[in-house]
Amino acid sequence: MIQKISQYLSLIKFSHTVFALPFAFIGFFLAIHSGQATFSIQKLVMVVLCMVFARSAAMGFNRYIDRKFDAKNPRTAIREIPAGVISANAALAFVIVCSISFVVCTYFINEVCLYLSPVALLVVLGYSYTKRFTPLCHLILGLGLSLAPIGAYLSLTAQFAFVPVLFSVLVFLWVSGFDIMFALQDEDFDRGQGLRSIPVLLGTKNALRLSEALHAIAAIVVMACFYFGGFHWLFAIGAAIFIGLLIYQHSIVKPSDLSRVNLAFGTVNGIASVVFCIFACADMYFL
């Protein structure tokens, strides 16, 4: 049983939940800090479950849809479906269960989140198809993860607001930028299979330049969040660390050396997200 759970966690790269979940916490506590809502442990649990179920459905569906490509790609042939560890039908059943669970959780949050849940699922599940027809697939992934802060804010307030939308824009730019970097590993394979991506469209060097540009704009949005959100010095420290880690990941990934793409993609961005969340939330409640 434990081994099977471990296999499914590996299938969906559960550890990568760390990318967007901290921004969901920011959106949640921003709603409380704004005076528009009070703390609710039930809502917080539901938000966390929504994040877990939505992302699990998205990753499981991506593995299911891409299983034939994964089997051909030396980098991904060891994944659970092509390796025969988890069957395609079992993966699809897992996706269906996670999708239904996500909608059920939104039911226990509020009507706005429930009504918007099909839209969220359409974005996060639809991403898996985009690489077949548009190089803008990275932006669709960014859009999917950008729903975290505004979705968490909506869970408490049932209304949109400028600052949480700014945080969503930040996530959109940040994720889109690092996903372009991650896709550099499969540039040749994708081109050979007729798949679309920014690296296939622009080449390694120009794709990295675009990733840098997206992260530069993300840094500006971080500062906008600081200004319009009325934050203080703790947020500024977190923002500085976040921006510094954006710069660092681009310093270790070069067109001539992609050996540290996984370090930049997984470790650096995971640390950036968690640290930024800690400082942002601390700023809201201690200053």
3-state secondary structure of 23: helix
Coil, helix or strand at residue 74: coil
26-78 pLDDT, tens digit each? 999 999 999 989 999 999 999 999 999 999 999 999 999 999 999 999 999 99
The count of C-alpha atoms lying within 13 angstroms of the C-alpha of 145, restricted to the half-sphere facing its C-beta, is 25
Whole-number Å distance between alpha carbons of 58 and 19: 14
Q: Map tokens 């690296």 to a residue.
A: 199
Please give the Cα distance from 272 to 275 (Å, whole number).
5
Predicted confidence at residue 12, as pLDDT, reads 86
Q: What are phi and psi of 92, to 5 degrees?
A: -65, -40
Cβ–Cβ under 8 Å, residues 192 and 146: no
CA 37 to chain centre: 26
Task: Work out the percent of the chain whose per-residue pLDDT is above 70.
Answer: 100
Q: Max alpha carbon distance in the chain (Å)?
A: 54
pLDDT of res. 159: 95
159 Rama sector, left if φ>0, alpha if ψ -120 to 50, beta otherwise: beta
Question: Is the entire prediction scored with pTM above 0.95?
Answer: yes
pLDDT in tens, 174-192: 999 999 999 999 999 999 9
Q: Is the pLDDT of residue 17 over 90?
A: no
Tokens of 108: 């226990």
- The pLDDT value recorded for residue 50 is 97
Residue 126 confidence (pLDDT): 96
Both tokens of 43, joined, read 């809502």
Sorted by where each starts, the structural domains of the chain and their CATH numbers stand as: 2-286 (1.10.357.140)
Cα 235 to Cα 175: distance, rounded to the nearest angstrom: 20
Tell me which of 2-11, 209-218, 241-250 is least confident. Answer: 2-11
Burial 67-81 (b: 16+ CB within 10 A, else e): bebbeebeebeebbb
Tell me the average pLDDT across 260-278. 94
CA-CA distances (angstroms) from residue 229 to 2, 30, 169, 211? 44, 9, 14, 26
Residue 5: pLDDT band (50, 70, 90) is confident
Residue 120 pLDDT grade (very low, low, confident, very high; cuts 50, 70, 90): very high
Identify the CA nearest to 171 among candidates 43, 1, 8, 22. Answer: 22
Ramachandran angles phi, psi of 131, nearest 5°: -65, -15
Cβ-based burial of 248 (10 A; exposed 0-12, middle 13-18, buried ≥19)? middle
Would you state the pLDDT for residue 46? Answer: 98
**If you average pLDDT over residues 199-225, what whole number do you get?**
98
pLDDT in tens, 136-183: 999 999 999 999 999 999 999 999 999 999 999 999 999 999 999 999
